Amino acid sequence: MKQVRMGIIGVGGRGGIAAHWHKPEGNSVIAAGADVSAKNLETFRGKYGNVFTTTDYKELLKRKDVDAVAVTSPDWTHEEYAIAALRAGKHVYCEKPMAITIAGCDRILLEAKKSGKKFMVGFNMRYMSVFPVMKDIIERGVIGEVKAVWVRHFVGLGGQFYYHDWHANSKNSTGLLLQKGSHDIDMIHYLTGKYTKKVSAFGSLDYFGGNKPNDLRCRNCREKDTCWEFVKSETMDQCCFRKEVDVEDNNIVIMELEGGIKASYLQCHFTPEYLRNYVIIGTEGRVECVNEEKVVIKMRPGVKLVKNSTDKELTLKPVEGGHGGADPVICGDFIDYVLTGKKPKTTPVAGRQSVAVGCLGTESIRKGGKVLAVPPLPKGIKE
């Protein structure tokens, strides 16, 4: 095979990354698309020409001119679509989270092993320029042995992103510790090189949700001229204060990782601004970043990092492309994985372990902070 013919399941929203796979003169090309929205499919055809489209993903999987599938549909569909694609003999790129339950991830892992096909999870944060820099600093031992991790995620405009549509209902997403937090949890694992063993969490629905009708939309609301959370959208304007909203908007997770590393993850969806703050603390110093802009190294008193200095600051240049330049790179890695077998930065097991923490953290919240252990991988599954 010299060119991978891609089928996209879920062409709207995150399905926009299809553009990075459409290289008719290169090593990948868009061959088909599936979506429940006829309008999304019309837009898809407008971008990629006379390609096969369908509202039934099973019809796409029957196509012999589709070698690999990207599952970029809503979270609760990932398990079904990924397993069906593997059984149909397709290589699979699956957006995070891998599934919305630990058991669902395990079923995918077993199916991927059985099929012998390539399976990759879309953890694009591993490809953002800032995190490989941090990982290199940690692995070179610059800050000593890692002992603590603090991550804060300020989700400004959380209502606009997550509470005006399906994300706000736990039956679709389990919770935002999983849906939104799976990236950050994976980065904790990636940077430390260790997986979480035990989880305890506290959280609540402190701002969103309420007593508004479930069918109320911003466009029809009498309070739209005064509501801070008003959005103008054709598809994502359900009232964020509707009764069915049941996923926490304010969370604190405590994790114990392999090797005794202690980690904390804080996530809030009604903060004024949007930013991520990562702090990794070792026995000799710490490395910190805010968003994808700057990496700061600070050493303990008396510990030298560079000549005549104990601190260092690295300013990173902006990178073009979605998610800080990560999207085109991760899409390219998937194609390389299919064509050459070169392993990408992310692994299916990493996808499962991230989901495990998100699910157990959510369960812990709803059980009053109970400490829960991450279950072992299915028999025969290894990193």
Write the CATH number for 343: 3.40.50.720
Separation between Cα atoms, residue 85 and residue 96, nearest integer Å: 16
Q: Which residues contact 57 (CB under 8 A, 6 or more apart)?
A: 9, 34, 73, 81, 84
222-251 mean pLDDT: 95
Is the same domain home to 162 and 280?
Answer: yes
Percent of the chain with pLDDT over 70: 98
Query: How many structural domains comprise the chain?
Result: 2
Q: For strands 91-95 and 119-122, give the pairing.
A: parallel
Is the same domain home to 170 and 50?
Answer: no
Q: What confidence tier does 284 reach under pLDDT thresholds 50, 70, 90?
A: very high
Is the same domain home to 147 and 286?
Answer: yes
93-98 mean pLDDT: 97
**From start to end of 4-104, where are the E strands?**
4-9, 28-34, 52-54, 68-71, 91-95
Per-residue DSSP letter, 65: T
Q: Nearest 5 degrees, angle CA 262-CA 267-CA 271? A: 140
What pLDDT is recorded for position 234?
A: 87
Is the same domain home to 270 and 293?
Answer: yes
**Residue closest to 75 by CA, chosen among 112, 33, 105, 44:** 105
- Own/partner contacts of 251-254, CB < 8 Å, gap of 24 or more, are 251/176, 251/177, 251/181, 251/201, 251/202, 251/203, 251/361, 251/365, 252/201, 252/202, 252/203, 253/177, 253/181, 253/199, 253/200, 253/201, 253/357, 253/361, 253/364, 254/199, 254/200, 254/201
Determine, yes or no, domain membership for 382.
no
Residue ranges making up the domain that contains 150: 126-322+353-373
What pLDDT is recorded for position 233?
A: 92
Determine, yes or no, domain membership for 379.
no
Tokens representing residue 355 in the block: 């989901």
**Concatenated DSSP letters of 323-378:** HHHHHHHHHHHHHHHHHH----S--HHHHHHHHHHHHHHHHHHHTTS--EEPPPPP
Does residue 248 surpass a pLDDT of 90?
yes
pLDDT (tens digit per residue) in 306-347 = 555 566 887 777 677 777 789 999 999 999 999 999 999 999
Crossing angle of helices 78-87/102-115, nearest 10°? Answer: 10
Is the same domain home to 80 and 136?
Answer: no
For 88-233, where are the alpha helices, taking DSSP H only? 102-115, 130-139, 158, 170-173, 176-179, 181-192
Tokens representing residue 237 in the block: 């304007």
Is the same domain home to 74 and 110?
Answer: yes
Is the same domain home to 225 and 310?
Answer: yes
Is the same domain home to 338 and 368?
Answer: no
pLDDT (tens digit per residue) in 38-94 = 999 999 999 999 899 999 999 999 999 999 999 999 999 999 999 999 999 999 999
Determine, yes or no, domain membership for 380.
no
* Whether this model's pTM surpasses 0.75: yes
Q: What confidence tier does 303 reach under pLDDT thresholds 50, 70, 90?
A: confident
Determine, yes or no, domain membership for 23.
yes
148-161 mean pLDDT: 92
Is the same domain home to 165 and 239?
Answer: yes
What pLDDT is recorded for position 106?
A: 98
Is the same domain home to 169 and 247?
Answer: yes
Percent of the chain with pLDDT over 90: 87
Separation between Cα atoms, residue 301 and residue 297, nearest integer Å: 13
Tokens 């279950």 sit at which residue? 375
Is the same domain home to 273 and 309?
Answer: yes
pLDDT (tens digit per residue) in 165-213 = 999 999 999 999 999 999 999 999 999 999 999 999 999 999 999 999 9
Across the strands, what pairs with 299?
Answer: 285
Determine, yes or no, domain membership for 311.
yes
Per-residue DSSP letter, 159: I
Per-residue DSSP letter, 195: -
Determine, yes or no, domain membership for 378.
no
The phi and psi torsions of 9 (rounded to 5 degrees) equal -105, 110
Lowest mean pLDDT among 116-125, 153-162, 296-305: 296-305
Q: Quote the mean pLDDT of the chain.
A: 94
Q: Judge contact between 33 and 8, C-beta under 8 A.
A: yes
What pLDDT is recorded for position 61?
A: 98
pLDDT (tens digit per residue) in 373-382 = 999 999 999 8
Strands of the 52-54 sheet, one edge to the other = 52-54, 28-34, 4-9, 68-71, 91-95, 119-122
Does residue 150 surpass a pLDDT of 60?
yes
Write the CATH number for 270: 3.30.360.10
Q: What confidence tier does 148 reach under pLDDT thresholds 50, 70, 90?
A: very high
The phi and psi torsions of 188 (rounded to 5 degrees) equal -60, -45
Determine, yes or no, domain membership for 26.
yes
32: helix, strand or coil: strand
Separation between Cα atoms, residue 265 and residue 273, nearest integer Å: 17
Q: Judge contact between 226 and 149, C-beta under 8 A.
A: no
Does residue 292 surpass a pLDDT of 80?
no
Is the same domain home to 137 and 102?
Answer: no
Determine, yes or no, domain membership for 118.
yes
